[in-house]
Amino acid sequence: MNLIDHLNWRYATKIFDPKRKVSKQNLELIKEAIRLSVSSYGLQMYKVLIIENDEIRAALRKASWNQSQITDASQLFVFCNYTLDYDRHVDDYVERNITAQGNSSDGIKQYGESIKTSIAKMSAEERKNWSEKQTYLALNNLLIACAELKIDACPMEGFDNQAYNQILGLDERGLNAAVIAPVGYRSTSDKSQNRLKIRKTKDQFFQTA
């Protein structure tokens, strides 16, 4: 299968088979795909929680309007953006670059300071929106990786993120649950898998200037 075939195969899975689990090998491939996602300045201003604990997922299901994907999928990925200490995250990024490249640090330190200046110019709301958007870039890598591996996924915004933050103890860690994605294998009873994939035509969707 090529990429287009994979993308045509996938859909937002509504009912998962709770008996089927993603293998450790495939889980590592999904994690690596997420890790290699693009991000603004390369900062990776987010953290990804992989929830497997049944009790935690039961609590999160209540905070997700009782949607069964939360508990029935093999794993629940919670993409969390950082909300505090932006300068520290930039400093960490600079140090990773210096360690990896093993050369003069002056240039990368100057670049780090310019990033800090750009972030400092943002309002609190702008910083929130900017950091939350980064999680969606990582989410897309998960969706594509899952499609290639013939693993089902369902990107979801239908949850109470404040309840998630409380249940997972995110506020004190300077994190915010931005978007989630259960992954696993579709149930044969999920009628959504038989629906046609309806999209705009290329002529409707694209314009070349």
Beta carbons within 8 Å of 150's beta carbon, 6+ residues apart: 9
Q: Is 100 a member of any domain?
A: no
Q: Is 21 a member of any domain?
A: yes
Q: In the chain, what percentage of residues exceed pLDDT 90?
A: 95
Rounded Cα gap, residues 33 and 77, in angstroms:
13
* pLDDT above 80 (res 78): yes
Q: Is 132 a member of any domain?
A: yes
* pLDDT above 70 (res 104): no
Locate all alpha helices (DSSP H) within 24-105, ordered by sequence. 24-35, 54-62, 69-72, 86-101
The boundaries of the domain holding residue 190 are 3-84+125-205
Domain count, the chain: 1
124-to-84, 119, 127, 128, 197 alpha-carbon distances in Å: 10, 10, 5, 6, 38
C-alpha angle 23-52-84 in degrees, rounded to nearest 5: 115
125-176, pLDDT tens digit by residue? 999 999 999 999 999 999 999 999 999 999 999 999 999 999 999 999 999 9
* pLDDT above 90 (res 194): yes
pLDDT of residue 105: 79
Rounded Cα gap, residues 157 and 79, in angstroms:
11
Supply the CATH number for residue 44's domain: 3.40.109.10
Q: Is 9 a member of any domain?
A: yes
Q: What is the mean pLDDT of the chain?
A: 96
84-100, pLDDT tens digit by residue? 999 999 999 999 999 98
9-31, pLDDT tens digit by residue? 999 999 999 999 999 999 999 99
- Strand partners for 76: 51, 182
* pLDDT above 80 (res 191): yes
Q: Is 120 a member of any domain?
A: no
Average pLDDT over residues 52-74: 98
- pTM beyond 0.85: yes
* pLDDT above 90 (res 106): no
Q: Is 103 a member of any domain?
A: no
pLDDT of residue 103: 65
CA 87 to chain centroid, in Å, comes to 22
Q: Is 68 a member of any domain?
A: yes
pLDDT of residue 153: 98
- Residue whose structure tokens are 């200490």: 85
Q: Is 96 a member of any domain?
A: no
- Residue whose structure tokens are 């990033």: 115
